[in-house]
Structure 1
Amino acid sequence: MSKNLVQYIIMRGDLAKSSKWNAGALVAQACHGVSAVLHLYYNDENVQEYLCDVDRMHKVVLEISDLNSLMELETKLKNKGIHHKTWIEQPENEATCLVVKPYPKEDVAEFFKDLKLFNKKL
């Protein structure tokens, strides 16, 4: 890849503390979000470049504290024109994660600088 493309996945930390969201359920949420955003933006130049070298994809999984914080981040990204997908799990109608389409790291890293790696003991 010529660009330093990265895909950010933002997981709600409060779900990891809830007994109804085990490790498998949380991983599934991230997978749903990634699949959705790659589908939605499939024809995007960055997405196509990212998918050309599947053995070198770069993803960063970060934690955000709760639903309100996730929605604030979603609003900030929308206002700045950063393409993403907030995954809403059904039938629970619960926003579980937010996934950004692949971007050059320098274009989007500022939005995530205050978040830590998702590192929950499950």
Structure 2
Amino acid sequence: MATVAATSYVMYVILRRDLQTKLGWPLGAVCTQAAHAASASMWIFRNDPNTEAYTSNLDSMHKVTLGVDSEEEIKKVADKLTARNVDHKVWIEDGFPVCIALKPYPKEEVKNALKGLKLF
């Protein structure tokens, strides 16, 4: 049985652009939200075979940060991921969703669920 290299897995992070542009959050605070979401997702799915493969070579982890423009958009993305059974963590800060981190997936498995999202 062939094993898939860790580099074939990607962790997608979806972050709200309006945190910085409209709400005036400093860049560091915005970056921290992505770190929170990614860390939480890695912990929640730590025993998943995808996560185990992804972390088998820490120097080869691949992440892609995508962006949405509003709270409404991030909620729609979360609903779409849930409907498609894509494992993820929605990070809530100050009572509202600010970031989503998917567990590591092969790109082909989740590309349709993320269709239309642009890089942050």
TM-score by length of 1: 0.90
- Give matches, 1:42-121, under 5 Å: 42-89=46-93, 92-118=94-120
Partner residue, 1:12? 16
Which runs of 5 or more structure 2 residues have no equivalent in the other structure? none
Q: 1: distance between equivalents of 2:116 and 2:92?
A: 23
What displacement does 1:14 show? 1.1
- Give matches, 1:22-37, under 5 Å: 22-37=26-41
Which runs of 5 or more structure 1 residues have no equivalent in the other structure? none
What displacement does 1:2 show? 2.3
Q: Which secondary structure state, in structure 1, belongs to the residue aligned with residue 100 of structure 2? A: strand
Structure 1 residues 72 and 19: CA distance shift in structure 2, 3 A: closer
CA RMSD of superposed structures (Å): 1.3
Runs of 4 or more consecutive aligned structure 1 residues displaced over 4 Å after TM superposition: none
Percent of aligned pairs sharing the same letter: 38
Note if contact 2:38-2:101 (Cα within 8 Å) is conserved in structure 1: yes
CA-to-aligned-CA distance 1:66-94 (integer Å, 9 cap, x gap): 111111111111111100000001xx212
Partner residue, 1:2? 5
Partner residue, 2:45? 41
For these two proteins, the number of residue pairs brought into alignment is 116
TM-score by length of 2: 0.91
Code of the aligned partner of 1:94: F
Q: 2: distance between equivalents of 1:97 and 1:46?
A: 21
